[in-house]
Amino acid sequence: MTTKQQIQNFFEAGMIADALGVPVEFSRRDTYTVTTMQGHGTYDQPAGSWSDDSSLTLCLAETLTQGGDAEALMAKFVAYLEHGAYTPGGEVFDVGNATREAIRNFVGKNVPAIAAGERSARSNGNGGLMRIAPLAFSTVNLPREARRQLTQDFTTVTHGHVRAIIADDLYVECLRQLLLGQPLAQAMAAAWPVIAAAGYPAEELALFHRVHDPALANAAREAIRSSGYVIDSFEAAMWCALNCPTLESVILQAANLGEDTDTIAQIAACLYAAGHLDERAPRNWRETLIRTPAAERIISEFAERFGAD
């Protein structure tokens, strides 16, 4: 079983990756170079600041620790958007349009949490993928159908199209295989048949062909898209995690792809870290990362609930 310290290492890796990507988000590839933790840039935030990726991940982690459901998760999202809860500095400086609209549906229109996310195919950003990773720890020993249902419920609060659900389901299943000891390529190879047998539309499954294709590792950098579209982000994160030998190199590779740098770096770091739970980022990055009392508490309580001594 994963230890408490390993779970804390996992969260730290994702938050550090997020923070390295924040200052260069939306920048065009090869117009900059990230070599270490830095501040300002896109959002003019201090070094070590993490974005909505980590904020909403913390919301889910706390919900899972408390045994909460989708309604409880959305209540935390409301606190995040309206009051700056779960943020590194008490203010929201980056939130996706689909997530914002879903929260408004929940609060302003009394839409049930699991129905709040947009169902249109045009709304397939990576806003679900970026925060769903804690489910891999909390559901690792649950039956497949229970894992699938929880992933769906916690996805559709903001992203209701089946493509976003497939992405989150595949990601959680892949992370689960990593936690069970499989290397990344084998973890994805084990996860894909589970998803393929889940009854999703064939035309939607076909869109994920590169995500689970072993040949993705051999793709040229220029063939990797790094947009906020959920499939682009998943492919880019997998490519980074498959091709880099250390957590540090995974994060730097992702942060230097351009466009949705914070989210892709975070997902890539999670894919790598789940298979290397004792490895940590460089000390100076860890020391620069902003650590709030709330975040430290949430991660510690999650590790206590789902980790071993």
pLDDT digit string (tens) for 176-228?
999 999 999 999 999 999 999 999 999 999 999 999 999 999 999 999 999 99
Residues in a beta bridge with 308: 3
Q: How many domains does the chain have?
A: 1
Arithmetic mean of pLDDT, 29-46: 97
Query: Quick one: pLDDT band at residue 1, thresholds 50, 70, 90?
Result: confident
Distance of CA 290 to the CA centre of its chain: 18
pTM of the model: 0.98
Measured CA distances, 179 to 58, 208, 215, 232, 286 (Å): 20, 22, 23, 24, 23
- Helix/strand/coil for 87: coil
Residue-number span of the structural domain to which 254 is assigned = 4-306
pLDDT digit string (tens) for 118-127?
999 999 999 9
- The one-letter code for the residue type at 149 is Q
Arithmetic mean of pLDDT, 124-151: 98
Measured CA distances, 83 to 92, 131, 193, 288 (Å): 8, 19, 42, 25
CATH at 157: 1.10.4080.10
Neighbouring C-beta atoms of residue 296, cutoff 10 Å: 12
Closest by alpha carbon to 96, among 267, 296, 291, 262? 262
